[in-house]
Chain A
C-alpha cells in the first residue's frame, strides 16, 4: 500500500497535526485539535461499519466508554502504565465486541440498529450498577497517576501525541482494509448481502470481525482520553448523543470513503465549537446538527466527498 501517494498524505497530515500546537505552543489549539482527533477516530472506525458493511451502529460510543473504563480501572487500582492499560482495554473491548457481534449481527438492517441502541443502554446501566467501577459516580484518578509520564502538564502533551498517532493509525487501517480481500468482501456485503454470501463471502464471520475491529481503536482512544480527563462516569462515557454525532460526521464527509469521515468529523467539531461560542446559537446546536443531517440525507447522500468526486473526477485517483 505504500507505493501510492494516499498513505503518505495521511502520515504527512498527521505530522503537521501533531507538531502544529507544539511549535506555536498554543494550548487552546491543542485542546480543540485533540477533540477533533477523537471524533476523527470515532467517525473513521464507525465508517468501517456504516460505509463498508452498510450496518448502522447507533451504540458505537459503547466501545469508547468501555475502553476508558477498563484502562482507568487498571491504571487506578493496579498502577499499570498507561499505554499497556489502554491497549489491554482495546483488546478486551474487541473481544467483547466479537462475542456480541456473533449474536446481534444475525440481525439485519433496522433490527440490528435497534439492537445496538439496546446494547448501549444495557451496558450503560450495567456499569452504573457495577460497584468496582464506582457505580454512578465513576472512577477518579489521583494526581499521582500522572507521575510516570513526568507530571500532569507533560502528560497532556503525551496524551495528545498518542491520540494523534491513533488518528493516523485509524485512517491507515481504513485504507488497508479497503484495499484488502476482506474489505472487498465487506463492500460486497454493503451492496447486497445475499449476493455476497452466494459468491462465497463468509458474511457472518466478516461482519463479526469488522464489528470487533471497529471497536479496537475507539476503545484504546477512550482509555487515553479518559486518562487525560482524570475522571470517567457512566453518563459521559456512554452518551448516546455522541454516538449519533459520529454518524452525522460520517454522513457529512461521505460514508464509505476514507478521507470523508475524517473531514466530516473535523468540520463538524469546528462548526460546533463556533456554534457553542456564538451567543444566539448555543441553545440551538442540536437543532442545527439535526437540520444539517436531514439536508445531507435528503439531498447529498454521498456527503462532501461525493460532491468533490462529482465536480473533480480526477481527485478519485488521489483522495480516497
Chain B
C-alpha cells in the first residue's frame, strides 16, 4: 500500500515538470493558434544549457533555469519574427510546417555539435526518506521550481498589464487591436514566453534523467498528451494535465512492462483528442 502512495507522490513530482513543459506549448496555442512543433528542440536546448552551465562554466545546476528563461525568451522573440509572423492568419498547415522547419534546423545543429550520444549531468541534493522509500532531492526541487515558475506565469498573466494584453489578444485579436493594444508585439512577447517556459522545463528535466539531442522529441510528445488532457490553450489545465500524466506513468509502472507505457500514453492521447477536444479539465480559457 505504502508503495502505491510512494508511486503517486513521485508521479505528482515528475508530472509537475511535464506540466511546466506543456505550459509553453499551450500558451502559444492559446494566444496565436499556432502549434509550436519546435517545442521539443527547445526543451533539448534547455537540457544542453544545463550541461554547459555545469560542466563548462562550473556554476550551480539550478542557475541554468533563469539563464535559460532569459535566453529562451530572446530566442523565442527572434523565432517569432523569423518563422511565425508571416504564418499568422494563414492555414494551420503553414504554421505547422514553419515551426517544424525550425525544429529540423535546431535538431540538425544540435546533432552536429553534440552528436546523438547520451549526456548526464549529476546533480546531488539530499532526498527525503519515508519508511523504505526515498524521494530524491532532484525530483522534489524540480517539482518545487516548476510550480514556482507556473505561479510566476500566473502572476504575469493575471496581475500585470502585459498579461492583460496577452489575455485580450488570446480572446479576440481584432478587438484588442481596436482597443489600442499593439497586438503584433504581444504575439512576439507571448511566443518568447512560451519558448522560455519550454527551455526552463528542459533544464529541470535534465537534472532528473540522462538526455540526448533527440530526447526533446519524447517530451514534446508528452507535452501534447498533457495539453490534450488539460485542454489546448489553458495554462492552468496544463499543470493539472502534467500531474495526471505523471500519475498515470507512476501508477502504471508497477503493473506493466516499461515498454508498454508509451502505448498507453499515445492511446490515451488519441482517445482524449477525439473524446474531449477541449480537455478533461476544461475550465475557463486563459
Which residues of chain A have a CB within 8 Å of any CB of chain B?
50, 54, 56, 103-104, 106-107, 109-111, 113-115, 117-119, 121-122, 125-126, 128-129, 240, 244, 247, 251, 283-294, 297-298, 301
What is the bound-complex CA distance between A251 and B232, given in angstroms? 27
Whether a CB of chain A sits under 8 angstroms from the CB of B105 is yes
Chain A proximity of B230: nearest CB distance (Å): 14
Whether a CB of chain A sits under 8 angstroms from the CB of B94 is yes
Whether the pair B105, A125 counts as a contact (CB closer than 8 A) is no
- A-B interface, 3 closest residue pairs, ranked by CB to CB distance from nearest: A290-B104, A286-B108, A287-B108
User: Given A106-B274, A110-B35, A298-B98, are A121 and B262 neighbors across the interface (CB < 8 Å)?
Assistant: yes
Closest to B221 in A: A121
Chain B residues lying within 8 Å of A294, measured Cβ to Cβ, are: 82-83, 98, 101-102, 105
Number of A-B contacts (CB under 8 A): 124
Interface contacts beyond A114-B35, A251-B97, A283-B112: sample of 5 additional A-B pairs, CB < 8 Å, sorted by A: A113-B92, A122-B266, A125-B259, A125-B260, A297-B94
Chain A proximity of B252: nearest CB distance (Å): 14
Closest to B100 in A: A244
DSSP majority for the A interface?
A: helix
DSSP majority for the B interface?
A: helix
Closest to A288 in B: B108
Closest to B107 in A: A286
Whether a CB of chain A sits under 8 angstroms from the CB of B211 is no
Whether the pair A297, B97 counts as a contact (CB closer than 8 A) is yes
Cβ-neighbour of B273 out of A50, A118, A247, A286 (below 8 A): A118
Instruction: Please provide the chain B residues from 83 to 125 with a CB less than 8 Å away from any CB of chain A in the complex.
Output: 83, 86-87, 90-94, 96-98, 100-105, 107-109, 111-112
Chain A residues lying within 8 Å of B228, measured Cβ to Cβ, are: 114
Whether the pair B104, A118 counts as a contact (CB closer than 8 A) is no
Whether the pair A115, B262 counts as a contact (CB closer than 8 A) is no
Chain B proximity of A214: nearest CB distance (Å): 16
Chain A proximity of B241: nearest CB distance (Å): 14
What is the bound-complex CA distance between A221 and B57, given in angstroms? 52
Chain B residues lying within 8 Å of A126, measured Cβ to Cβ, are: 263
Cβ-neighbour of B101 out of A104, A118, A291, A301 (below 8 A): A291
Whether a CB of chain A sits under 8 angstroms from the CB of B277 is yes
Whether the pair B98, A125 counts as a contact (CB closer than 8 A) is no
Q: List 30 A-B contacts (CB under 8 A).
A: A54-B91, A56-B97, A103-B270, A103-B274, A104-B270, A104-B273, A110-B33, A110-B92, A110-B96, A113-B35, A113-B92, A113-B93, A114-B224, A118-B224, A118-B225, A125-B259, A129-B259, A247-B100, A251-B97, A285-B108, A286-B104, A286-B111, A287-B104, A287-B108, A290-B108, A291-B101, A293-B101, A294-B98, A297-B94, A297-B98
Whether the pair A293, B93 counts as a contact (CB closer than 8 A) is no
Whether a CB of chain A sits under 8 angstroms from the CB of B267 is yes
Chain B residues lying within 8 Å of A301, measured Cβ to Cβ, are: 90, 94
Whether a CB of chain A sits under 8 angstroms from the CB of B269 is yes
Closest to A291 in B: B105
Chain B residues lying within 8 Å of A118, measured Cβ to Cβ, are: 221, 224-225, 266, 269-270, 273
